[in-house]
A and B are shown apart, each in its own frame.
Chain A
Amino acid sequence: MSSGFISPSDRIYRALLRLFPGDFRSEFESEMEQAFREQREGIERRRGKAGLFRLWGETIAGIFTTAPAEHLAMLRQDIQYALRMMRKNPSFTAVAVLTLALGIGANTAIVSVIDAVLLKPLPYRHGDQLVMLHQRAEKVGLAGVGYSAAEVQDYRRQNGSLSDLVEFHSMSFTLLSKNEATRVRTGVVSDGFFRVFGVKPILGRDFTSADDQPGAPAVLLLSYEYWKTHENSDPNIVGKTYRMNDRVHTVIGVLPPVPQYPSENDVYMPTTACPFRSNPKTVANRNARMVSLFGRLKPGVSVDHCQSDLAVIAARLEKQYPEAYPKELGFTSTAVSLRKEITDDAKPMLLVLLGAAGCVLLIACANVANLMLARMSGRERELMVRSALGAGQGRLLRQLFTESFLMALLAAAFGVLFASQSLKLLVDFTARLTPRAREIQVDGHMLLFALAAAFLTSIVAGSVAAIRPRNNFTPGLKDGGCNFSMDRRRVTARNALVVCQVAFSFVLLIGAGLMLRSFFKLRSVDPGFVPQRVLAMKVSLNWSKYSQGEHVLDLTDRLLSRLRQLPGVLSVAASSSYPLDADAMRFGGWNQRITIEGRPENGSERPPLTEVRSASVDYFKTLGIPLVEGRIFERSDNEHAPKVAIVNQTMARHYFQGSSPIGRRISNDGGESWVTVVGVVADVKELGLDRDTADELYLAHTQAPGLGSVLVRTQQDGIGLADDMRGALRSLDPEIAVPNVVTLEQAEHEAIASPRVMTDLLAIFAALALTIAAAGIGGILALTVNQRIHEIGIRVALGAKPGRVLSMIIGRGMGLVAIGLGIGLAASFAFTRMIKALLFQIEPTDPVTFAGVSVVLAAAALVACYVPARRALRIDPLVVLRQE
């Protein structure tokens, strides 16, 4: 038979044989071809074409059943072998699995958060069509002005791009059920609000237009959380009644667990049930801007189109009502997609965390690749023997990948465990940034990602480990496999891995360093008051009961005198708010337009706007806010005395440049009534330590009663007084909801919680990266010392000084570190620009951080180099040469 000719049948058969594993083929392929050829010829002779057809059928069926079985058997063999190797080197396996688990775990956790917050569609019907409208006073840089009832009607009627337009605002009310008063955050919504979002109550019914008519019976929808925590998921809740704002409110349904935007609320009511929104004065006043607007884009309409539509309406309204839209303020309306609105705050932080976690995984991956590569050198002999025994290159590769995949899979399992454990921390952190945090969960996506990460890791680590010496196997076998010349390719690969580890660690350390410096700056910001030993109790009065000033004053007087009698109390004060209150920080301050007597109003200039607070006599003393000029409030500044005010230094500087504001008059109602400035106090960081101080105008509590909080300064740490404070309030009016009491230190702590968690997370990642990288550098140098043991022995024998040997080894390691630092430095300049927005009073190229991190990394690397270098010093030349 001519061996040169290959018949079509042979070709087909050979193609079918490709279904077998390579090893199987290399062993039996030509033999099987020969056997099949002979079988075919024999059958054709004996049974003709019919026999041939049957033979093909049987052959194909045979191959299709045996080939997969062969693959499986090989896989089983590979897995058993890999497990044996892993058990044989428990420390190697533990280090590799642990580092990978941390890398995979960190990424899995952060990807779960990103998946839930940034990637998944909004949990609302056609969420991408939902937009939020913003009215802004562009010329004075005022965002979020809100809309008034009249404007809601105008925008609803005049727009052509939205199929629905609904309103929302949030208020705190007191809910009375039997004898219990609870302060509830109430979302006030117009008819159709939940229908626009596609949210259907899980119990009962939605609001209808009948509920939103003046005079309709007051009804409530409960949020899922409120129903669960306060009503123990009572299935018969529909029909339950509460008293609220002096009216009976009936529960008509319970909402499903969906993220609530712009704020989380306990209960929802129609606009007609809100005493403020339904007040005829509010409805008639175009300037009473208090609600947010949400809309659904008509099919096919883009956000941009909607923007221009809104701009046209804004311009029309400005022309129509010039008093309501002063030209110098530049009123305009814009639309932002709800998805962007909800997730924009979280996005930069999450992406930075993803970058950091990705770096950790890459470093861990490089470390495992390096470990495997190092171990490959040790296993060279074994691999050569296997190769000489006929295992093909492909088989050995497969073996390597199986090993690295098994380790990665194990790491992924630990990683998922680690991720699901750390998820709560991440959810708490994310909840500060977006209401979508509640959607974060351990789900299929998370497991899938961990698997994918494991797979990719094993491919990367396995491929690097598979880099083989170019020379063939025989020399290795000949010299007993214990003295391989260092193959350039492997050395280069290992060096490159160490350089990468150093570079990535550097970038991470810079990120963490910048955040840390920024956080310290933030923490060292002077809040302008003394938060130690001050308790703040938030008071939520029943608006309808305390609508008259004298009622509020009476309650305040009695409350303050009771609190003064509590043991250890140094001073007490009442005010409309307290500094660094979490709610105030979330929703912003209460800006009011003021008029300053004798100050010319320049049409092109931003009209004076200021935060207005009401403060009792001892407010400044209790908070430790220093008086700068004039006097603070006195008891004589009562409701019958001339009205007085105190301004902060920023406001004094701002509007009374050079001259003293004492004696000047200010009006916050367009000149109807005036208050006289009697003092200037130091600036206080009311709305956040990272914010610029706003202009503040304090009115005397007796002249502008507004009881929002009560402050108590105590002799010692006084949180133990919290119950007494609540008791004092409830004894005066049991219908006031049980208030929350916090120390101002807690408030200050809470105010910087987000940057703190962010800094902690980055610091953990950076520490992890540094440890892994240092271990990597130490590992590779230890190997170098091992491999150059003879050379070092000879050098020592020839009289090389210990210092010289030490510097040779350390120099080698530090050379790699220097290259890594150089690359890391360049990468950091690019990376840190991304976190600029997260930094406070620190430039992304802060030289102190860059220098500090370089020193820390170099020091860690030096320690890592020193350990193997010390070993090199202890080499006994005689022992080494004898071995030779």
Chain B
Amino acid sequence: MFQVLLALGDGEKHGYAILKEVEEQTDGHVRLSTGTLYAMIKRLLTDGIIEECRNRPPAEEDDQRRRYYRLTPLGRDVTVAEAERLEKLIATAREKHLLKRLKPA
């Protein structure tokens, strides 16, 4: 789910764009299926983490069947908070020389 939020971190995207972004972000390790993605989108919409975006691209680039989603201010806060939490974890791992040992720079 965090990957989806990250994918939306730099602006609104439609479903397929999110799928592609997540795949690229993870070097192909995480590939979401459409079912999984839209179940997540539904939950994120219900919880007010993301919202549907009314601004659509110019008509020649648009497809009416697509819907575009973006982070809400709450969603942005949640994403940032989660990223910071992970950052702290990584920092701790580094302090304990775990990361280096596991994955030398």
Contact = CB atoms under 8 A, between A and B. Distances in A.
Interface string A1-39: 000000000000000000010001001101111111011
Nearest to A37: B16
A31 B33 contact: no
B19 interface: yes
Interface stretch (A61-69, A119-127, A693-701, A726-734): A61-69
B104 interface: no
A35 B21 CA distance: 13
B37 interface: yes
B35 A34 contact: no
A30 B14 CA distance: 13
Contacts of A36: 34
B42 A31 contact: no
B39 A31 contact: no
Interface in B36-58: 36-39, 41-42
A59 interface: yes
A760 interface: no
Chain B: number of interface residues, binned into ranges: 20 to 34
B66 interface: yes
B15 A35 contact: yes
Given A24-B42, A39-B16, A70-B39, A31 B65 contact: yes
Interface string A44-68: 0000000000010011011101110
Interface residues of A, number: 25
B35 A66 contact: yes
A32 B33 contact: no
B33 A62 contact: yes
Given A38-B16, A59-B34, A62-B34, A30 B65 contact: yes
A16 to B, nearest CB: 8
B76 interface: no
B35 A31 contact: no
A42 B65 contact: no
Contacts of A55: 31
Contacts of A38: 16
Contacts of A30: 65
Contacts of B15: 31-32, 34-35
Most buried by A among B20, B31, B35, B39: B35
B33 A69 contact: no
A61 B32 CA distance: 11
Contacts of B34: 32, 35-36, 39, 59, 62
A32 B38 contact: yes
Interface string A666-701: 000000000000000000000000000000000000
A110 B31 CA distance: 59
B43 to A, nearest CB: 8
Contact of B16 (A27, A34, A70): A34
A31 B20 CA distance: 15
Contacts of B67: 31
Contacts of B61: none
Contacts of A65: 35-36
Contacts of A35: 14-16, 19, 34, 37-38, 66
Given A28-B41, A28-B42, A34-B65, A39 B19 contact: yes
B39 A34 contact: no
A30 B16 CA distance: 12
Contacts of B65: 30-31, 33-34
B95 interface: no
Contacts of A62: 32-36
A803 B58 CA distance: 72
Given A31-B38, A67-B35, 19 more contacts: A20-B35, A27-B42, A28-B41, A30-B65, A31-B15, A32-B15, A32-B38, A33-B65, A34-B15, A35-B14, A35-B34, A35-B66, A42-B16, A42-B20, A61-B33, A62-B32, A62-B35, A66-B38, A66-B39
Interface of A: 20, 24, 27-28, 30-36, 38-39, 42, 55, 58-59, 61-63, 65-67, 69-70
5 contacts: A34-B15, A35-B15, A38-B16, A62-B35, A66-B36
Nearest 5 CB-CB pairings of A with B: A62-B33, A62-B35, A35-B15, A63-B35, A38-B16
